[in-house]
Structure 1
Amino acid sequence: MPEKTGPRIKDITITPIAIVDPPLLNAAGLHAPYALRTIVELVTDDGISGISEIPGNRAIDAALHDSIDLLIGKDVFQLNEIRQVLIDQFGTDTAAERGETPWDQRKLVHIFSAIEVACMDIIGKVTGRPIVDLLGGKMRDRVPFAAYLFYKYEGAGGELGFGTDPAATGWAAARQASGLTPAELVAQAKAMCAAFGFQSIKLKGGVFEPQQEVDAMFALHEAFGPDVPLRLDPNAIWKLETGIKYGRQLEPILEYLEDPVRGQENMAQVRQVLTIPLATNMCTTSFGDIPNSIRLGAEDIILSDHHFWGGLRASMTLAGICETFGRGLSMHSNSHLGISLAAMVHLGAAIPHLTYALDTHYPWQSDEVITAGRFTFEEGAVLVPTEPGLGVELDRVALARLHQNYLNCGLTKRDDEVEMQKIQPGWTFQSVRW
């Protein structure tokens, strides 16, 4: 019998966009008024479209353009072949290419995750099955997420700049208000949880000296009580002795402490002293990191991200490794729209042992690029789409508008240090600050 083949890639469109982003603070500086994303669309020879979304970066976009000729004509079902073609072209990523900032800067993992998700969107449409079924099927109907708090300056980003809408109420008002003190963070958390129903809370730390952030966590604990899990992420900016000192203070109230210190060796030393679980998306970030992680006992929980681990299927492999070695698993987030959120939900539904609610920046974003509009959260969770593929479709009018934002704003990559220097001249990113 002749070998069966699937739909083949005929066209690839790569569209950089810029979405409104508030002035959120982190260890690397300040979010720009716009966050960059890249939307990738594959169209097959029989007219089926598949889409994906990744963090925006001009260098990665250029590499995606360089991959077009390599991928035209490929069978969308042959993902192993597609991955090998990309490896042959770009090589494998190194740990150094990840960088020291809280976000990942590796090329191959971004490119392949973009192509894989779009291909799986097509495969789902061809087979009439949602992506979760292509990953082995649903383990849950709803995927839980956590409230993600940020220290921030006043303002909503984008065209509003640092201004506010005085008529805004509820979460819309909290999204624009400053949040620099423990009381302001508690108000932010209450508004976000009221609007989205989140059952657990995370604070992006690494912004102020540690005691201020520890005090904020205790304020949240007092406001929400012992039944609401709390997490703190200093983004690896603490020294070893700092991580141990403040980790001990936080032990009674935290669900887990994320990346208090930099590197697997330092994480392992903190882990030997503290009783609370340690999580990471900065010290164990690739399959090559795992053997040393297991040897050292560097963390208890790995925060995956299909954009950074090489796609959805690779993330399922990671889930199996975590189960084998007794590691918890959840997901890291970035400033994303509904295409990435849909992919996260399909993956989160398929993972057998999803031990913690996922991170999401989604409440901080106001734009959207899918036709159904923004996703709805019920009690902090998102229903798993049941339509074929991702279950979302591209809003081409919104895509054109957001692409024009990209052209107008002049940003080509994320650089929180430069943005911070606009507010605090001379400020520089330090990989270890306290």
Structure 2
Amino acid sequence: MKIADVRTIVVGNPWKNWIYVVVETDEGLVGIGEATGGSETQPTVAAIEEVKHLVIGMDPRNVHEIFHKLYLTAFIKVTKAISGIEMACWDILGKSLGVPVHTLLGGKVRDNVRVYANGWYSGERTPEGFAEKASEVVAKGYTALKFDPFGDAHMQMSRKETAEAKALIGAVRDAVGDDVDILIEAHDRFSTYAAIEIGNWLKDYDVTWFETPVLSTDISALVEVARRIPVRMIAGERMHAIHEFGEFLSHNVTDVINPEPLGVGGIWRSLQIAGIAEAHHAEIALHNAESPFKTMVALHIDAVTPNVFIQECFDDFLEPWVSDVLTGFHRVEDGYLKMPTEPGIGVTLNEEEAKKHPYGKSNFLRMFRPGWEKRDTAKQE
């Protein structure tokens, strides 16, 4: 079996263009991967086009050989283009043998994984609005939810902005009760001093974690914040190299990291990072802010990883047409996702339906513009 072609399909989700990698073989088997990258849509599509000649003619079942060749070509770094091709090759290998990818990875250690909801708060940025939305999430069966209450703040927060953020968090806590985990996202936005100040008052709301309060590639800043706040701090979604995770975890300042499979090189590299976490008595909570296809990829990783804390999922809060473009992905039931059972990744991409939702230059979040959390990109020009 040989790779005959590598194509990309862009689906214009309103707040993030989804990039799918289609790997075709000379025997008719087709694999799907994802390479979504926020506002980096066109560069990623171009990167895939530029490297695909390197893998055409190779056996897609030799996943590690293909990854290593692309990794060295990129001067010993990982890219979303590499991740997308790697995932598609795992998909082909699973389909060729008639088994789920997690079976190829040694078999599952769990039948399901607890999920936290994200993307649910796309409404008015008021305590009442957030409380209402949070109550709806819990009514769906979720036992954990994450949100960014900090508006368009950057580096510092004024007293007024601090009061607004506290009001939002307090309203959500009151709405969901004491038994639901609240995870606070900061999107790398604060200075070290501001992050420490915020992390200390977050203790009052019994939050489960404070995520990436400072630039998450600045290990020293992460460590400084983590050591000086009374709540768990996590990071990892913007780290790319294996050694970055090892360096961060070596300081023993957290017991959870959230690597992004697309950012670290795909499925196998995610498993290697999970192993590094386990060596430091830490768990993983895979970052997952892309399409339902990527959720299924995360499930294959979670299936074989003993040290999983929880799994992020946006899928209940996406556009209704998503189920026309993608079929086979799992839905959250009572706050959990079941492990895949179909061969390969287990998701089918309908290319005709995908054409109905083309690339859009405004399909990304401008995180430091007022109202970004509404995900109304038309108003963020």
8 Å CA contact 1:233, 1:260 repeated in 2: yes
Mark the CA change 1:339 to 1:111 in structure 2 (over 3 Å): closer, same or farther: same
Matching of residues 378-389 of structure 1 within 5 Å? 378-389=333-344
Q: CA deviation at 1:341?
A: 1.7
8 Å CA contact 1:150, 1:179 repeated in 2: no
Q: CA deviation at 1:118?
A: 0.7
Q: Which residue of 2 aligns with 1:257?
A: 210
Q: CA deviation at 1:230?
A: 1.0
RMSD over aligned CA atoms reads: 2.5
Alignment of 1:319 with 2:274, yes or no, is yes
Which deviations, in whole Å up to 9, do the C-alpha atoms of 1:129-176 show, x marking residues without a partner? 101112221111122211225654xxxxxxxxxxxxxxxxxxxxxxxx
Alignment of 1:181 with 2:126, yes or no, is yes
TM-score by length of 2: 0.86
Alignment of 1:145 with 2:115, yes or no, is yes
Alignment of 1:349 with 2:303, yes or no, is yes
Which deviations, in whole Å up to 9, do the C-alpha atoms of 1:245-293 show, x marking residues without a partner? 2212222401111112232222212222223211113564431313431
5+ residue gaps, structure 2? 154-160, 373-377
Alignment of 1:216 with 2:175, yes or no, is no
Question: What amino acid sits opposite 2:76 in the alignment?
Answer: T
Alignment of 1:125 with 2:95, yes or no, is yes
Match of 2:317 among 364, 370, 373: 364
Question: For residues 108 and 71 of structure 2, what CA distance do their matches in structure 1 show?
Answer: 31
Mark the CA change 1:150 to 1:68 in structure 2 (over 3 Å): closer, same or farther: same
More displaced, 111-120 or 143-152?
143-152
Match of 1:198 among 133, 139, 142: 142
Question: For residues 129 and 419 of structure 1, what CA distance do their matches in structure 2 show?
Answer: 45
The count of residues paired between Structure 1 and Structure 2 equals: 359
Question: For residues 326 and 212 of structure 1, what CA distance do their matches in structure 2 show?
Answer: 36
Alignment of 1:287 with 2:242, yes or no, is yes
Q: Which residue of 2 aligns with 1:52?
A: 33
8 Å CA contact 2:8, 2:20 repeated in 1: yes
Question: What amino acid sits opposite 1:78 in the alignment?
Answer: N
5+ residue gaps, structure 1? 1-6, 22-30, 94-107, 153-177, 426-434
TM-score by length of 1: 0.76
Q: Which residue of 2 aligns with 1:14?
A: 8
Q: CA deviation at 1:344?
A: 1.4
Q: Which residue of 1 aligns with 2:158?
A: none
Mark the CA change 1:117 to 1:137 in structure 2 (over 3 Å): closer, same or farther: same
Which deviations, in whole Å up to 9, do the C-alpha atoms of 1:35-73 show, x marking residues without a partner? 201111112121111111221511111110111211111
Which deviations, in whole Å up to 9, do the C-alpha atoms of 1:202-225 show, x marking residues without a partner? 112432533322332222222222
Match of 2:50 among 66, 88, 92: 66
Match of 1:38 among 7, 16, 19: 19
Q: Which residue of 2 aligns with 1:86?
A: 70
8 Å CA contact 1:147, 1:193 repeated in 2: no
Q: CA deviation at 1:189?
A: 1.2
Q: CA deviation at 1:306?
A: 1.0
Q: Percent identity?
A: 24
Match of 2:228 among 254, 273, 280: 273
Mark the CA change 1:285 to 1:258 in structure 2 (over 3 Å): closer, same or farther: farther
Question: For residues 85 and 340 of structure 1, what CA distance do their matches in structure 2 show?
Answer: 23
Question: For residues 186 and 147 of structure 1, what CA distance do their matches in structure 2 show?
Answer: 14
Q: CA deviation at 1:179?
A: 2.5
Match of 2:82 among 112, 115, 130: 112
8 Å CA contact 1:284, 1:302 repeated in 2: no
Q: Secondary structure at the match of 2:178?
A: coil
Mark the CA change 1:301 to 1:284 in structure 2 (over 3 Å): closer, same or farther: farther
Mark the CA change 1:237 to 1:42 in structure 2 (over 3 Å): closer, same or farther: same
Q: Secondary structure at the match of 1:359?
A: strand
Q: Which residue of 1 aligns with 2:181?
A: 229
Question: For residues 7 and 62 of structure 2, what CA distance do their matches in structure 1 show?
Answer: 20
8 Å CA contact 1:8, 1:76 repeated in 2: yes
Question: For residues 75 and 364 of structure 2, what CA distance do their matches in structure 1 show?
Answer: 23
Q: CA deviation at 1:81?
A: 1.9
Question: For residues 147 and 9 of structure 1, what CA distance do their matches in structure 2 show?
Answer: 37
Q: CA deviation at 1:335?
A: 3.5
Question: For residues 344 and 329 of structure 2, what CA distance do their matches in structure 1 show?
Answer: 18
Question: For residues 140 and 335 of structure 1, what CA distance do their matches in structure 2 show?
Answer: 23
Mark the CA change 1:295 to 1:381 in structure 2 (over 3 Å): closer, same or farther: closer
Q: Secondary structure at the match of 1:308?
A: helix
Question: For residues 254 and 371 of structure 1, what CA distance do their matches in structure 2 show?
Answer: 34
Mark the CA change 1:66 to 1:418 in structure 2 (over 3 Å): closer, same or farther: farther
Mark the CA change 1:297 to 1:399 in structure 2 (over 3 Å): closer, same or farther: same
Mark the CA change 1:424 to 1:388 in structure 2 (over 3 Å): closer, same or farther: closer
